[in-house]
Structure 1
């Protein structure tokens, strides 16, 4: 994100403690984080091999800070907070511990935590993550705008998973449930940079160089972010509340990883990514698809093979090799079973160019 960050504090009399305070709890392993600003944006660039190169940048409408890398290490315990927090991974792989469960967040993945859910980022891998925290008051103002919207399509934008989640957590008789929303991208990393990274870049630019109407600009950008995350064409969204939902979330992770690797990833590597037993991952896939993990993986492989046959001039042998098939006959057999025609017949029927 090409935003220049000034390492100095904008106002000498202001310190980070005026915006975020840390309180101990009955359990020494946990802490409670209280935010007093209407919203904050913070960026963690963590490098486990070179802690001195890690950075923690913090932005509010009133001030901007760069904190020492040691500050990151000090806040990696399980915690709750008095606000809603979006976490969006820009680069690398970040693991989150959420209520005793460990989840991997790859580039483009996002989650939205409520105030009750215990969680923390695991500082073990190299990643860059942006955190967007919003207060209850900020959310209430956004929701109150629904009645003043001029166009029906604008009012419809409030009828989505994120706003329902926010409204539910604002209720006075809210049961203090430990739930969160999880978003797995369906779009490519290139699309993520164009669609999502651009929103955060504009938010930071607006904070660093405010102008008359900047508040409405930030609200508009927040609406754009919600619109993208709640669009099923762009993201697979899961409301995690029960064991079943946890399994759905894990399946979304499996689905994402298989898609990124075109189905060609070993069980051992998948286990390393997700930190779950291989046989359990197979059961999750079987439950959601009725297929074995191998057969389900082959769907992604064959879909990519078909795309290469349609859109490129690569030979069938080159495509088989690219998809890690050492035996061309094996590739032919699986492709024909999947599409009821050979790769050459598929290219002749659907290809843009024939070799």
Structure 2
């Protein structure tokens, strides 16, 4: 990795200074509100953010915890020891560790020269990347699908031993650089970079250590069908039409979607439409009213309202960030 990035990530943080000063535990208020050891994305992401990064905190033991987001850890230098779902693994320089929302993780103290970066990612960030991955079935694609499912039966982590794969290293470094420099309007580019990264990783599934057999189940097939339909028919699609196409009772399908993906059909459709609207605002000169219509909203006032709720700013303000 570029030495300038390494130096920036190596700086002793305020949290680490307290640990070196004698604090023997992590500051839980930085990570969680409750006592159930679930690290909360709201503590780490700003309103409207889908992804961010932070250096891994060194010198301290992280007790068992889970996340309510997807975490990807990249080892920039040195190594760290993790216990994931009861299995110990060493993450070495240049390797990647993907954890879904159900993985139970414990981390042993890292030393001064053990530099890792944590990607904090909401599942909807993978929207563009998922499309770029195509239809080929493999462990990585199934894992991404599993990240969208509220089901503990899916494989919960992937450990990529790809330190010698230069394109992967370059793409990770590009993503780290982009997120560290916090340039506005970079979401679409970051999503595309993530898509390219996953496309490359798909060719190295033989380098994966995984916690369990991730053979596709009925639930995964159902999830894929639902996500594919929303991706292709977000403008005019309906739950009733989807149920008819799949041959299921609409009420049964509605409950299944909520159970498997943790959101109802309307919420999934809205996320897809708003992500597409954000893409059009940054990449075209279409008037906001036309963007609203293009993604399936005939009522521009309603579009403005839900866009502001989701992104924390109006469509016009969002366009200026690009």
TM superposition score normalised by structure 1:
0.45
Greater strand share, structure number: 1
**Greater relative contact order: 1 or 2 (C-alpha under 8 angstroms, separation 6 or more)?**
2
Q: Which structure is larger by alpha-carbon Rg, 1 or 2? A: 1
Considering fraction of residues, name the structure with more helix.
2
The TM-score with structure 2 as length reference comes to 0.49
